[in-house]
A and B are shown apart, each in its own frame.
Chain A
Amino acid sequence: MVWIDTMESIRIEGLTKRYGEIVAVDDLSLSIMKGELFSLLGVNGAGKTTVIKMLSCLTSPTEGDAFLNGRSIRDEPSSVKSIIAVSPQETAVARGLNVRENLELICGVHGFDRSKSDIKIAELSKLLGLNDVMRRKAGKLSGGWQRRLSIAMALISEPEILFLDEPTLGLDVLARNDLWDIIRSLKGKVTIVLTTHYMEEAEELSDRVGIMKDGKLLACDTPEGIMRIAGANDLEKAFVHIVRCSP
């Protein structure tokens, strides 16, 4: 495992989210290093998306706090928003705008001037192979291309921390592999928190993996470490073992 440096990028301290009687995230404490790709795994309703929503200041924690590059999500949400980007679970593009206009929108809302926007758009369209579809309406693109655009929109603001909520959900094998290559190319440059249901995705991409169930973090280690703990020879078996054996 190679870090850009050994500094902490995300520190989560007793983060809890309750919706009435339901505890969506229960006293989560965790540390993620700069440049690390950390995957959150869990069955539906485990609390993965709620964790991302709290870390990206979309929803407030009921208890606890988290610090993103030293900024509190409770006390400094504006400052946190200036260093993060989120690619939500559902496709989050302006369907009536073309690809370039979508990228320009994100540059604009981050306050980039014209020349910086042009440079970033050229850079990201090359990285994600969007040049051939720049003038096509986002709403007319296939699911795979919309996901690429969605990730380009997340990256264009030069985030220090990137949240990818099930980035390859519903994609075919080729489109998924293309996106894996893109995500791999970001490792070490940006801290990435990824949620996924695909075990092979987590195994392929992650430096470390956290397994959640009922809002609790059951295990947190490298994919190899998780397999060792569970005595399994692949991550899927290890995941099933850990989730089933927990109370």
Chain B
Amino acid sequence: MRMLSFAIKNTKELLRDPINIAFTLGFPLVLLFMLSAMQANIPVEMFEIHHLAPGIAVFGLSFLSLFSATLISKDRNSSLLQRLYTTPLTASDFILGYTLPLIPMAVVQCAICYIVSIPLGLEISVDIVYATISIIPVTILFIAIGLLCGSVLNDKQVGGVCGALLTNLSAWLSGIWFDVSLLGNGFETFCNMLPFIHAVEMERAILSGCFEGMFPHIWWVLGYAIVTLLIAIHLFMRQMKRQ
């Protein structure tokens, strides 16, 4: 009940910001339409819809990190968190209250991305449902990044780190727009050591019905998600104690 009240507050604040909606839903869809239009005129395998849609679904989640981090840092900045720290809410209530509202938002965002991809040529199959559900571990990863950044950065820094750096990292190091091996072995190895390319490959495998293809990518995603979440929880609790 206590955690739910806090989660409802966060949900309302996230959904009422038109910029949040525009970026989390609008921007990925604009990219999807643009790249599909390019594909129609100059066919490139990378931009075929079954290849492109999973990448866009993962890329769209980077905006959730930005908005969750912004919400947390604004709460810290406004002293609202300081007030709430003096209530019976526990550390786990805070962490769940910030995390849980974003999971359904991410699933809806992913579902809309795949549904919009259908008229663009994506074949209707039950694999779309599986791919939508399997976005959840990726969602946890991006939410954890948001929680981490929101715990240590102010709202202006969050804009730079999550808004510019993270969205670019998840765009350029994920193999959404180009084959990372084109930039050499070093770059490919570097990309493979990060979770973004594995998140995209996992989604591509599941969407194409090749479930064995999700391995080992899911382990990379889960590993990064768990470690990032643990670090985020530690940093959140540390700033809580530092009040």
Whether a CB of chain A sits under 8 angstroms from the CB of B219 is no
Assess whether B87 is in contact with A157, with CB atoms less than 8 Å apart.
yes
Q: Which residues of B contact A53 (CB under 8 A)?
A: 243
A82 touches B (CB below 8 Å): yes
Contact of B2 among A97, A101, A108 (CB under 8 A): A108
Question: Which partner residue on chain A sits nearest B74 by CB separation?
Answer: A95
Interface size of A in residues (CB-CB distance below 8 Å): 36
Residues of B within 8 A of A37 (CB): none
With A96-B12, A101-B9, A108-B6 already in contact, the answer to whether A58 and B88 are too (CB < 8 A) is: no
Supposing A101-B9, A109-B6 touch, asked if A81 and B87 sit within 8 A by C-beta, the answer is: yes
Given A88-B79, A111-B1, A153-B83, check contact A101 B88 (CB 8 Å).
Answer: no
A56 interfacial by beta-carbon distance below 8 Å: yes
B16, A84: Cβ atoms closer than 8 Å? no
A77 to B87, CA, bound (A): 10
In the complex with contacts A82-B88, A108-B1, A88-B82 CB distance below 8 A:
yes
A92 contacts which chain B residues (CB < 8 A)? 78-80, 82-83
Q: Residue of B at shortest CB range from A60?
A: B241
Report how far A97 CA is from B10 CA in the complex, Å: 9
Kindly count the residue-residue contacts between A and B in the assembled complex, taking CB atoms under 8 Å apart.
Answer: 83
Measured between beta carbons, the chain A residues less than 8 angstroms from B241 are 59-60
A108 to B11, CA, bound (A): 15
**Closest chain A CB from B57 CB (angstroms):** 27
Dominant SS among interface residues on chain B: helix
Q: How far is the CB of B236 from chain A (nearest CB, A)?
A: 15
Encode contact with A along B230-243: 1 for CB under 8 Å, 0 otherwise: 00000000000111
Q: Complex Cα distance A204/B206, Å?
A: 70
CB distance from B77 to the nearest CB of A (A): 8
- Interface assignment of B212: CB less than 8 Å from any CB of chain A: no
Partner of B9, one of A60, A91, A97: A97
Provide the residues of chain A in CB contact with B84, threshold 8 Å: 109
Q: Produce 1/0 per residue, B5-25, CB < 8 A to A.
A: 110110011001100000000
B88 to chain A: which residues have CB within 8 Å? 78, 81-82, 109-111
Measured CB to CB, the closest approach of chain A to B97, in angstroms, equals 9
Contact A110 B87 (CB under 8 A): yes
A126 to chain B, nearest CB (A): 22
Can you give 20 contacting A-B residue pairs, CB < 8 Å? A56-B86, A81-B87, A81-B88, A86-B86, A88-B83, A90-B79, A92-B80, A93-B78, A94-B80, A95-B78, A97-B13, A108-B1, A109-B5, A109-B87, A109-B88, A109-B93, A110-B88, A111-B88, A150-B83, A153-B83
Q: Please name the 9 residue pairs, one residue from A and one from B, whose CB atoms are nearest each other, closest first.
A: A108-B5, A96-B13, A92-B79, A92-B83, A90-B79, A58-B243, A88-B79, A86-B86, A56-B86
9 new A-B pairs (CB below 8 Å) besides A84-B86, A105-B8, A111-B2? Answer: A58-B85, A58-B86, A82-B88, A90-B78, A93-B80, A94-B80, A106-B87, A153-B83, A154-B83
